[in-house]
Amino acid sequence: MKLNPFVKAGIGLTFALLWSCPTLAALTEDKNFGLEVKVTGQSEDDRDLGTASGGDVSGVGLDLRPWVYGESGAWSAYAMGQAVTSTDIIETDTLQQSDSDGTQTTDNGDRKTKKNYLAMREFWVGYSGLTPYPGEILKLGRQRLRNDDGQWRDTNIEALNWTFDTTLLRANAGIAERFSEYRTDLKELAPKDEDRLHVFGDVATQWSPGNWVGIRGHHTHDDGKLDYPEPGVAGDSLDKKQNGDISWLGLTADSDAYNWRNTNTVNYWGSITGMSGDTDTVNPLNADGTRPTEAKRGEDLNGWATDIGLRLRLDPQWQVGAAYARASAEYEQTGLESNRSNYTGTRSRVHRFGEAFRGEMNNMQTATLFGSWMLNDEYDASLIYHKFWRVDGNKPVGSNGINAVENNTDDVTGAILSSTSLPLEDGNKDLGQEMDLVVTKYFKQGLLPASLSQSIDEPSALVRFRGGVFKPGDAYGKEVDSYMHRAFVDVVWRF
């Protein structure tokens, strides 16, 4: 893995801080270390909607995650590694970015997902002595950043992050930038992550028992060097084609709806977000292969998005609900999101826009109906229906779990000469519909330090099925397959 000197220095500084702060004695005395073993089976058919050969996944993967944690006084430190081996390129990690899960077509071997790899998921040092409150901590290093709805932050990234979490007030503030994937197979960053700095903050308070209101903001500053095309020189899929500055400002209100432990009869959530910024985008070569008159073009962006939902508890075990989300054509998310949350009211996090389709908040609206069930601390299940539309029927949607292509074939032999992303049909807004099912069996509750609540979400042992069946709509045209599916069985055990 090639790292620039600044990354090497950052890693060295982090580990130096980890071993120099007074945590080694705590690690030795308390033995706060362990191993998470995860076995994942994946079945996937027609990711490309039948427009290309392949597009199927069927395999099993073993994901080993050793971790070590220690604390002494106000100091704490944590590190988690990862070793993955599999029979096919499958997803053992729900935090994988959409362009690193094997769906991206790349001509550069430095960012090619492999069946076997080693990685560092997290390594950070924490200090909780800035205030006397127990829910406060400052972390430096590669860490899990996450907010409740998963639509702004839910990823592992290098950051300096301050968290304040008390009964009546919650707040986060920090800066983050991705310097490396810390994986032996992904040696280069995705172009969108190169030299992109994130600055973020949020604060929420209880205005009445169990009812929260908040404000959150995020800014990205991307000044990475753009790669301009040259006549006669083949382009690289990892060339950086866009940079710029984008800001988000949002308001939120909820009844602690993402907390699966709450017993409210009625739960609600709602958010409204505005986005503005400007980007510079590289212009492609002219049709005759010559340089364009202008090397790049500037664009001002203005967009908005909303997500609202209501969940009703029928009895201690059963809940039903409905949700609606809409994002304007120019709106885009921060790039740190997973869109996974506990919005169905169970302990299992579910993709807000479909386990199969995996939509993004960009030129899309979604109507959702769901029902969920929990039995003590042993079982939970969610059954979800989604309907997806484009907001502007003449503009594309953000990246998702679909990778359909349009083939250019030889008129005589029928051989495929080239393939490009399948354009959506102008005027057709219907993207499709989906049914999801997520079922989990929990075996025992694990006791972990409170500081690890962000890094380790689950109890000690579980078996989970999560899957979705997607039926494409008219926007994809009539030449695609009727259905695609994506399903996983996860077995997790912590030692």
Is the confidence at residue 111, as pLDDT, over 50?
Answer: yes
- Amino acid at residue number 123: F
> Looking at residue 2, what is its pLDDT?
45
Contacts with 94 (C-beta within 8 Å, 6 or more apart), sequence order = 338, 340, 349
Q: Are 119 and 95 a contacting pair, CB within 8 Å?
A: no
Contacts with 231 (C-beta within 8 Å, 6 or more apart), sequence order = 285, 289, 290, 291
Is the confidence at residue 28, as pLDDT, over 50?
Answer: no
* 123-136 pLDDT tens trace: 999 999 999 998 89
φ/ψ region of 141 (left if φ > 0, alpha if ψ in -120 to 50, else beta) reads left
Which range among 138-142, 265-269, 413-417, 433-437 shows the weakest confidence by mean pLDDT? 413-417
* 45-78 pLDDT tens trace: 888 887 777 668 899 999 999 999 999 999 999 9
* 307-325 pLDDT tens trace: 999 999 999 999 999 999 9
Is the confidence at residue 399, as pLDDT, over 90?
Answer: no
The CATH T-level fold of domain 31-92+111-232+246-284+296-494 is Porin (2.40.160)
Mean pLDDT in residue range 373-379? 91
**Facing residues of 471 across strands?**
433
- Amino acid at residue number 85: T
Encode 97-124: b = buried (16+ Cβ within 10 Å), e = exposed.
bbbbbbbbeeeeeebbbeeebebbbbbb
Q: What is the DSSP letter of 228?
A: -
φ/ψ region of 232 (left if φ > 0, alpha if ψ in -120 to 50, else beta) reads left
Tokens 């579980």 -> residue? 462
> Looking at residue 96, what is its pLDDT?
77
Mean pLDDT of the chain: 87
> Looking at residue 97, what is its pLDDT?
61
Measured between alpha carbons, how far is 18 from 6 in angstroms, rounded to an integer? 18
What residues does each domain of the chain span? 31-92+111-232+246-284+296-494
Measured between alpha carbons, how far is 308 from 269 in angstroms, rounded to an integer? 6
Residues present in the chain in total: 495
Q: What angle do CA 408, 389, 358 make, to 5 degrees?
A: 75
Residue among 171, 185, 173, 140 nearest 158 (CA): 140
**Facing residues of 485 across strands?**
45, 469
Measured between alpha carbons, how far is 30 from 23 in angstroms, rounded to an integer? 10
3-state secondary structure of 234: coil
Percent of the chain's residues with pLDDT above 90? 67
Is the confidence at residue 330, as pLDDT, over 90?
Answer: yes
178: tokens are: 């991705």
* 336-370 pLDDT tens trace: 999 999 999 999 999 999 999 999 999 999 999 99
Tokens 């800066």 -> residue? 175
Q: What is the DSSP letter of 107?
A: S
Contacts with 268 (C-beta within 8 Å, 6 or more apart), sequence order = 253, 254, 255, 257, 308, 309, 310, 311
Q: Are 70 and 119 a contacting pair, CB within 8 Å?
A: no
Residue among 107, 114, 88, 47 nearest 418 (CA): 107
Is the confidence at residue 204, as pLDDT, over 70?
Answer: yes
Measured between alpha carbons, how far is 197 from 295 in angstroms, rounded to an integer? 24
Q: Are 443 and 460 a contacting pair, CB within 8 Å?
A: yes
Is the confidence at residue 212, as pLDDT, over 70?
Answer: yes
> Looking at residue 422, what is its pLDDT?
82
Which range among 62-66, 100-104, 270-274 shows the weakest confidence by mean pLDDT? 100-104
Measured between alpha carbons, how far is 437 from 3 in angstroms, rounded to an integer? 41
Is the confidence at residue 275, as pLDDT, over 80?
Answer: yes
Tokens 């290309």 -> residue? 52
> Looking at residue 11, what is its pLDDT?
43
Q: Are 209 and 203 a contacting pair, CB within 8 Å?
A: no
Which range among 114-128, 191-205, 410-424 shows the weakest confidence by mean pLDDT? 410-424
Terminal-residue alpha carbon distance, the chain? 29
Which range among 93-107, 141-155, 459-473 shows the weakest confidence by mean pLDDT? 93-107
> Looking at residue 402, what is its pLDDT?
87
Tokens 């992904």 -> residue? 186
Measured between alpha carbons, how far is 81 from 140 in angstroms, rounded to an integer? 17
56: tokens are: 């199927």
List, as one string, the DSSP characters of 397-410.
----S---EEEEE-
Q: Are 292 and 285 a contacting pair, CB within 8 Å?
A: yes
Q: How far is CA 426 from CA 7, 79, 392, 402, 472, in A?
A: 45, 49, 9, 18, 15
> Looking at residue 445, what is its pLDDT?
59
> Looking at residue 407, what is its pLDDT?
62
> Looking at residue 404, what is its pLDDT?
81
